Structure 1
Amino acid sequence: MAKRIETKGLDIYYGKFLAVSDVSLTVAPRSITAFIGPSGCGKSTVLRTLNRMHEVIAGARVQGKVLLDGDDIYGPSVDPVDVRRTIGMVFQRPNPFPTMSIYDNVVAGLKLNSKRLKRSETDSIVEKSLRGANLWEEVKDRLDKPGAGLSGGQQQRLCIARAIAVEPQVLLMDEPCSALDPISTLAIEDLLQELKEQFTIVIVTHNMQQAARVSERTAFFNLAGVGKPGQLVEMDDTEKIFANPSDRRTEDYISGRFG
């Protein structure tokens, strides 16, 4: 069941440095939301707070709230591992486990979660996940071959299959196409349209055309100045952000005046 994400007054720190300030936004279930903005504005940092990946960095912390269907994922009794199981992540560079087969890559997350499954059950999950990532037909006859032997675009879809195998409700994607060629990028974008029927998706992208193509809503982040924290300037329907933004800074960024 796809879930709604909400942040309220989110401040994100690296040690004493306030990296991103006062972010309040809502991400609707079964939709694609894009985070755009210049380098260093904090969009990937915000993304990583949505499944508690931020705190893996020494000294990193947050203040404020991140709510998943109204429940605070930073609550004192919440296990971060459970959060990351519910809110999956796909990174900028495809990162299949190099020594593992395609098959073992898909079920790696399940094994980390200590799920004991029969071979017939894992076979079923592998096929379902690879079909979900639009990769099954390309790899079904070489599941025992290394995942690292696939092309870049196939590797990224393998990472998506690995992320969805544990049945998350939210998928976070940090520039998932930036290392890919145009044809692979198009394949991932087509896949996102299918995946949003099941998942809530948030994608960070430097490619504004991509944001315009794939997302229903777009959040624009910016820096107030060098050494100042990043901030959410505005968030709205993607069509409005690109055609008629409310804030001059958004218009300046989208029209290429900076960034």
Structure 2
Amino acid sequence: MSKRIDARNLNVYYSKFLAVEDVNINIEPRSVTAFIGPSGCGKTTFLRTINRMHEVIPGAYAEGELLLDGDNIYAPGVDPVNVRAMVGMVFQRPNPFPTMSIRDNILAGHRLNGARMSRSEADDIVERSLRGSNLWNEVKDRLDRPGSGLSGGQQQRLCIARTIAVSPDVILMDEPCSALDPISTLAIEDLINDLKEEYTVVIVTHNMQQAARVADKTAFFNIAGTGKPGKLIEYDDTSTIFSNPANEETQNYISGRFG
């Protein structure tokens, strides 16, 4: 598990509108990378290109290359469904399947793919995934209860467990703490630090303190104005981005002068 991500001259479109322009970035395996920048600058759009989720929007497409360990996921013949099995996504708001139990939420990906498994194999996947999301001890005695009955922070960790249950190589997180209280946010941040031991983690966040706490590297995106494409302005070690950025736009953003 865990893959290197390389974007080469990647442009992302919504029909004729160029939303993100000419992204070149190298993300190391077993690391946490944060995308920061003002609203509308393309960071979430670019995040969604890493598992081809943007393509679910009619007319959306990408040009250029996005490589996972050297394999271009936009090459002809590549099945987006297979890409999404390798690159999991955790969304801004917790979204457990409301009619499913905690256990069935964890196994949903396997069942959707038609996997057959014994009861003991399923039990192992459920326990491994919940332990991996630091949720096992809190829910092990109520696995047959609805996942929607958990607290917001627990629901988000359940969604992370559901993501890692199918053994992806990369985990994408789109503002995973924006709907959570500070205690739940801390639990998710601790979990992100644990996850990078096995996965490549990429997180979009508007919380710069969060980026400074969890990310090994940080990418700053910006936009020149309404109707203009978002661009990657600067990408470096997180400590450098927040203490000695090379670009004036980055300095202005992290110092609160705009955004």
* TM-score normalised per structure 1: 0.99
Q: CA deviation at 1:144?
A: 0.3
Q: How does 1:13-92 map to 2 (within 5 A)?
A: 13-92=13-92
Q: In the alignment, residue 38 of structure 2 is paired with which amino acid? A: P
Q: CA deviation at 1:226?
A: 1.4
Distance 2:251 2:160 in 1: 33
Q: CA deviation at 1:112?
A: 1.1
Distance 1:115 1:74 in 2: 26
Q: CA deviation at 1:229?
A: 0.4
Q: In the alignment, is residue 202 of structure 1 matched against residue 207 of structure 2?
A: no
Q: CA deviation at 1:247?
A: 0.3
Q: In the alignment, residue 195 of structure 1 is paired with which amino acid? A: L
Distance 1:203 1:113 in 2: 26
Q: How does 1:86-235 map to 2 (within 5 A)?
A: 86-235=86-235
Residue 3 of structure 1 is matched in structure 2 by 3
Question: Matched residue of 1:209: which SS?
Answer: helix
Question: Matched residue of 2:48: which SS?
Answer: helix
User: Percent identity between the aligned chains?
Assistant: 71
- Unpaired runs of 5+ residues, structure 2, are none
Distance 1:136 1:129 in 2: 8
Distance 1:82 1:118 in 2: 24
Distance 1:42 1:27 in 2: 17
Question: Matched residue of 1:235: which SS?
Answer: strand
1:204-251 CA deviation, whole Å, 9 max, x = no partner?
000000000000000000001111000000100000000000000000
1:135-175 CA deviation, whole Å, 9 max, x = no partner?
00000000000000000000000000000000001000000
Distance 1:195 1:63 in 2: 30
Distance 1:250 1:258 in 2: 10
Question: Matched residue of 1:179: which SS?
Answer: coil
Distance 1:105 1:145 in 2: 11
1:169-194 CA deviation, whole Å, 9 max, x = no partner?
10000000000000000000001111
Superposed CA RMSD: 0.5
- Unpaired runs of 5+ residues, structure 1, are none
Residue 244 of structure 2 is matched in structure 1 by 244
Q: In the alignment, residue 49 of structure 1 is paired with which amino acid? A: T
Distance 2:122 2:74 in 1: 32
* TM-score normalised per structure 2: 0.99
Distance 2:251 2:226 in 1: 20
Distance 2:11 2:170 in 1: 22
Q: Which moved more, 1:74-83 or 1:150-159?
A: 74-83
Q: In the alignment, residue 224 of structure 1 is paired with which amino acid? A: A
Distance 1:65 1:167 in 2: 24
Distance 1:49 1:100 in 2: 29
Distance 1:132 1:107 in 2: 14
Distance 1:193 1:124 in 2: 23
Q: In the alignment, residue 193 of structure 1 is paired with which amino acid? A: N
Runs of 4+ in structure 1 off by over 4 angstroms are none
The count of aligned residue pairs is 259
Distance 2:4 2:224 in 1: 29
